[in-house]
Chains A and B, each alone.
Chain A
């Protein structure tokens, strides 16, 4: 089998005239925890649904565990765990019934894992699933997804709507179970702190187009910010292709770049200004700048003169 558990080629999906995923080429290495990032409406969930054969691609292809995603057999599905957005369970079933119901479909069901995750989330087996809190429901869903011990785990925004404690519990469970074996996890999120904690690699989708696919550190190291301080007389700035954002104040210019080259960095550092300083960006700052509004922004005190 290929070293990649997920491979897409030119994966594209239109809804009406709108292209929501465009020519997506994605490779998810086996054994990795792969963060799938993007803003709301970037096309993450649609991509995941195409990977699982729930939505038919308009063109292009997706292979999951070596199989065409549109032709996944029940046996293939047994190897893929999927936690959909919103943590759906049947509210009228008890926690125990949920487990029994789900277990009846899988040839392999690890009761120990199921019990462990339930205990971790302090779930009472006799409780109705409809009466659980959002965090508990997420825990139940995770238990249902992890117990069949799937080779590939696809989680669509698993932490959506959870408080920090529940989020931490969810991630701990996920790591506990998956780190022991050579499992692959693809999870979509826009909570960068979670991604930072667990992901090996990330892919960033922006308005349906893949903008980045790399290791977490690579992403962080490629998005750089320089703050240029001057005495009120702004130096002439070159027009670099990787410039993401410029932020101007009366005596400062903040420049954020992606993929800045040595020559370009040298050029900036050689500007005749008061000082030039590089700011270390957190992943969240890097991501927000990367997928946020691009172009120039300014904040001058002279603009405030007319404001009372």
Chain B
């Protein structure tokens, strides 16, 4: 094994170094810093390891390095006799595989991991980037690193599998796209477990297939299961591509969405939007409003300010910096860049020129860089991320002025109150006018006008049942529309009209709007093809992650709960399709070569229906069938006797010119001796 390791290292080190150089160059380019374009929205360089440019390198670069190293290791030796020279020596085939895979894996990790770790170290060193650094920013790159490893092992696997390049051999490479898709899931545990699952399958399949010289029936049970699952992932990806292509060629009707809004006159209306265009606007009593111009636009409606009544649990993507820190767009000529940093609990300023920390702004005011504790700390509610206009914290609401490096507390919680959210009330006519603010607590909605006393509106709905509200300022006071958003969909919105002094004038329950979400036959088919196994796996995932207390899974959890009744139909359809497929697979399973495997294959095809059937067909070796010389019916070339008539294969035809030792008078074939 040592000799094999040495050979692989010697052979491929140069390629790994070359790949490392390219990756380092690409990473350096992605993190190039230019103060003049720093405020441009296209530039996200402050996000460091999580900037889209940097992640472009890890998302595409790492898989390319993995594929290239894998193919370089396997394809250069796959020429028949060179492969024989490698394999025919006193080692097992598995040792040959690990002799390639371990050094190759290490070289891949060197080529990609060192640049990633080096970049993290560089960003963590003060003075290099005018932005905070958190070690958890390494997570997306690390998941991409694992994804790249999937590509590496897929290359080793597709190199050894026997079959055409356009078919069986290409599928492991396609399966890696499943891992790449998993890596993009917003939840880190979900993303990691998805990528790890694909990685384990491809690795086991590669090891077992190398051990069996690429022949499926000689592969171990675990290896076969891993290979079939790999094919299943690939089929899933292919099906996804197929539907995407279908939707491009045959686009369906644009999605139509109904919503309540306030017309510019202050009247509550129902808007129907299609592809971001207002299709029609109807008042609550059914009267259609015609647009004054050719069509409606946003100026025809009053702007809503959104307030949350429940703790804001909307997901945060592990690939984005939002859960760690966020840049505050100050839009000024200030020489400092401001961030809210969760782990510190305050706003942090970085010099654009020196790229070092300038100081902190917390609830207790500004503190210099060397004394962050002086600024104090507060945890912003998630709804306040990314803004410095007004920030809601657990204990009140603050108005920071980042340019002046000052902060003012404008609201403190009353007894038995819990903070929910705070926002600006938009003034459409004058953006530069002094601002009014709205605050939601567990008991009241507060309005803080810039020129008058605070208005207190009691929450007149069950706050446990409503997710939040839209607040509008009208000429007659305020209009509030409470809605469920992510709720169970059983409760319609509540319309509450409030006087300018905060007294509730009226409260009406609005009917729940039915979204005209037209399901095309393509959607029905793709839902029906979603097999039982995938549904179970999905459900198990949601249960597991919800059970483990990952709050990130909450949206999925509630969404699924809402669709439970509709989902029941799909479950039944999936069961029926599974049963039909399980019945169909019994035809090939009658062959003797599947003896002892029937139950396993039947269950597999039942749970994975058409995809399972396809994977079964792709994975197995199907021997050529030719006409039996005795009975004329098709028989397998691999069997010694005909499965129909029991005849053996005839000896090759003799023409009397055969020469066998010791037989001079008569040529007798060895088979007849």
B416 near A: Cβ within 8 Å?
no
CA distance A209 to B661 in the complex (A): 17
B655 near A: Cβ within 8 Å?
yes
Q: In the assembled complex, which residues on chain A have CB atoms less than 8 Å from the CB atom of B213?
A: 53-54, 56
Chain A's closest residue to B91 (CB) is A74
Chain B's closest residue to A18 (CB) is B624
Contact B90 A214 (CB under 8 A): no
Contact A54 B87 (CB under 8 A): yes
Which of A81-89, A120-128, A163-171, A247-255 lies at the interface? Answer: A81-89
Q: In the assembled complex, which residues on chain A have CB atoms less than 8 Å from the CB atom of B89?
A: 74, 77-78, 102, 105-106
B649 contact from A10, A84, A100, Cβ within 8 A: A10
B7 near A: Cβ within 8 Å?
yes
CA distance A67 to B250 in the complex (A): 61
B10 contact from A12, A17, A54, A92, Cβ within 8 A: A92
A95 near B: Cβ within 8 Å?
no
A interface: dominant SS: mixed
Q: In the assembled complex, which residues on chain A have CB atoms less than 8 Å from the CB atom of B651?
A: 23
Contact A290 B624 (CB under 8 A): no
A58 near B: Cβ within 8 Å?
yes
Distance from A165 Cβ to chain B, minimum over Cβ atoms (Å): 24
Contact B657 A77 (CB under 8 A): no
B657 contact from A86, A261, A290, Cβ within 8 A: A290
B215 near A: Cβ within 8 Å?
yes
Which residues in window 45-85 of A have CB below 8 A to B? 49, 52-54, 56, 58-59, 74-75, 77-78, 80, 82, 84-85
Contact B656 A52 (CB under 8 A): no
Q: In the assembled complex, which residues on chain A have CB atoms less than 8 Å from the CB atom of B665?
A: 259, 261
B81 contact from A25, A86, A258, A261, Cβ within 8 A: A86
Which of A215-223, A273-281, A296-304 lies at the interface? Answer: A215-223
B626 near A: Cβ within 8 Å?
yes
CA distance A116 to B34 in the complex (A): 68
Distance from B609 Cβ to chain A, minimum over Cβ atoms (Å): 31
Which residues in window 73-94 of B have CB below 8 A to A? 79-85, 87-92
Q: In the assembled complex, which residues on chain A have CB atoms less than 8 Å from the CB atom of B671?
A: 10, 23, 25
Contact B11 A78 (CB under 8 A): no
Q: In the assembled complex, which residues on chain A have CB atoms less than 8 Å from the CB atom of B87?
A: 54
Chain B's closest residue to A218 (CB) is B661
Distance from B506 Cβ to chain A, minimum over Cβ atoms (Å): 81
Known contacts A211-B659, A212-B660, A219-B659; decide if A23 and B626 are in contact (CB<8 Å).
no
Q: In the assembled complex, which residues on chain A have CB atoms less than 8 Å from the CB atom of B6?
A: 101
Query: For the side of the interface on A, what is the size category?
Result: 35 or more
Q: In the assembled complex, which residues on chain A have CB atoms less than 8 Å from the CB atom of B92?
A: 74
Which of B231-239, B435-443, B465-473, B636-644 lies at the interface? Answer: B636-644
Chain B's closest residue to A211 (CB) is B658
Q: In the assembled complex, which residues on chain B have CB atoms less than 8 Å from the CB atom of A90?
A: 7, 11
CA distance A107 to B11 in the complex (A): 25
Chain A's closest residue to B87 (CB) is A54
Q: Which of A16, A85, A212 has the most CB of B within 10 A?
A: A212
Q: In the assembled complex, which residues on chain B have CB atoms less than 8 Å from the CB atom of A54?
A: 83-84, 87-88, 213
CA distance A80 to B90 in the complex (A): 9
Q: In the assembled complex, which residues on chain A have CB atoms less than 8 Å from the CB atom of B82?
A: 84, 86, 88
Distance from A114 Cβ to chain B, minimum over Cβ atoms (Å): 15
Known contacts A16-B624, A25-B670; decide if A58 and B660 are in contact (CB<8 Å).
no
Q: In the assembled complex, which residues on chain A have CB atoms less than 8 Å from the CB atom of B661?
A: 201, 213-215, 218
Known contacts A85-B81, A104-B3; decide if A241 and B659 are in contact (CB<8 Å).
no
B511 near A: Cβ within 8 Å?
no
CA distance A85 to B215 in the complex (A): 24
Contact B85 A84 (CB under 8 A): yes
* Per-position binary interface string of chain A over residues 137-178, scored 1 when its CB falls under 8 Å from any chain B CB and 0 otherwise: 000000000000000000010000000000000000000000
B652 contact from A22, A212, A213, Cβ within 8 A: A22
B interface: dominant SS: loop
B566 near A: Cβ within 8 Å?
no
Which residues in window 161-215 of A have CB below 8 A to B? 201, 204, 209-215
CA distance A163 to B213 in the complex (A): 35
CA distance A210 to B653 in the complex (A): 11
B2 near A: Cβ within 8 Å?
yes
Which residues in window 295-325 of B have CB below 8 A to A? none
CA distance A184 to B621 in the complex (A): 36
A242 near B: Cβ within 8 Å?
yes
Chain B's closest residue to A77 (CB) is B90
Q: In the assembled complex, which residues on chain A have CB atoms less than 8 Å from the CB atom of B10?
A: 92
B91 contact from A12, A80, A105, Cβ within 8 A: A105
Q: Which of A75, A105, A204, A290 has the most CB of B within 10 A?
A: A105
Distance from A110 Cβ to chain B, minimum over Cβ atoms (Å): 15
CA distance A261 to B656 in the complex (A): 11
Which residues in window 1-45 of B have CB below 8 A to A? 2-3, 6-7, 10-11
B294 near A: Cβ within 8 Å?
no
Distance from A102 Cβ to chain B, minimum over Cβ atoms (Å): 8
* Per-position binary interface string of chain A over residues 258-280, scored 1 when its CB falls under 8 Å from any chain B CB and 0 otherwise: 11010000000000000000000
Distance from B162 Cβ to chain A, minimum over Cβ atoms (Å): 9
CA distance A218 to B667 in the complex (A): 13
CA distance A210 to B649 in the complex (A): 16
CA distance A84 to B83 in the complex (A): 10
Distance from B79 Cβ to chain A, minimum over Cβ atoms (Å): 8
Distance from A219 Cβ to chain B, minimum over Cβ atoms (Å): 6
B549 near A: Cβ within 8 Å?
no
Which residues in window 108-145 of B have CB below 8 A to A? none
Chain A's closest residue to B648 (CB) is A10
Known contacts A59-B637, A74-B91; decide if A23 and B652 are in contact (CB<8 Å).
yes
CA distance A243 to B657 in the complex (A): 7
Known contacts A82-B84, A85-B81, A92-B11; decide if A242 and B656 are in contact (CB<8 Å).
yes
Contact A17 B624 (CB under 8 A): yes
B664 near A: Cβ within 8 Å?
yes
B251 near A: Cβ within 8 Å?
no
Q: In the assembled complex, which residues on chain A have CB atoms less than 8 Å from the CB atom of B640?
A: 10, 59
B452 near A: Cβ within 8 Å?
no
Q: Which of B80, B623, B624, B658 has the most CB of A within 10 A?
A: B658
B84 contact from A84, A215, A218, A242, Cβ within 8 A: A84
CA distance A162 to B3 in the complex (A): 30
Chain A's closest residue to B673 (CB) is A25
Contact B624 A214 (CB under 8 A): no
Q: In the assembled complex, which residues on chain A have CB atoms less than 8 Å from the CB atom of B626?
A: 17
CA distance A209 to B658 in the complex (A): 10
CA distance A215 to B660 in the complex (A): 9
Distance from A255 Cβ to chain B, minimum over Cβ atoms (Å): 13
* Per-position binary interface string of chain B over residues 617-642, scored 1 when its CB falls under 8 Å from any chain A CB and 0 otherwise: 00000011010000000000111100
Contact B657 A107 (CB under 8 A): no
Chain A's closest residue to B672 (CB) is A25
Contact B81 A259 (CB under 8 A): no
Chain B's closest residue to A103 (CB) is B3
A244 near B: Cβ within 8 Å?
yes
Distance from B327 Cβ to chain A, minimum over Cβ atoms (Å): 50
Chain B's closest residue to A17 (CB) is B624
Distance from B652 Cβ to chain A, minimum over Cβ atoms (Å): 4
* Given A54-B87, A100-B3, A212-B658; 11 other pairs, CB 8 A cutoff: A22-B652, A49-B80, A78-B89, A78-B90, A84-B88, A92-B11, A107-B90, A209-B652, A213-B670, A258-B658, A259-B667
9 interchain pairs, CB-CB under 8 A: A10-B640, A14-B624, A17-B626, A23-B652, A59-B638, A92-B10, A104-B2, A211-B658, A214-B659
> Residues on B close to A: CB < 8 A?
2-3, 6-7, 10-11, 79-85, 87-92, 95, 213, 215, 218, 623-624, 626, 637-640, 649, 651-652, 655-661, 664-667, 670-671
> Residues on A close to B: CB < 8 A?
10, 12, 14, 16-17, 19, 22-23, 25, 49, 52-54, 56, 58-59, 74-75, 77-78, 80, 82, 84-86, 88-90, 92, 100-102, 104-107, 156, 201, 204, 209-215, 218-219, 222-223, 241-242, 244, 258-259, 261, 290
What 6 A-B pairs have minimum CB-CB distances, sorted nearest first? A241-B656, A84-B81, A258-B657, A212-B659, A104-B3, A78-B90
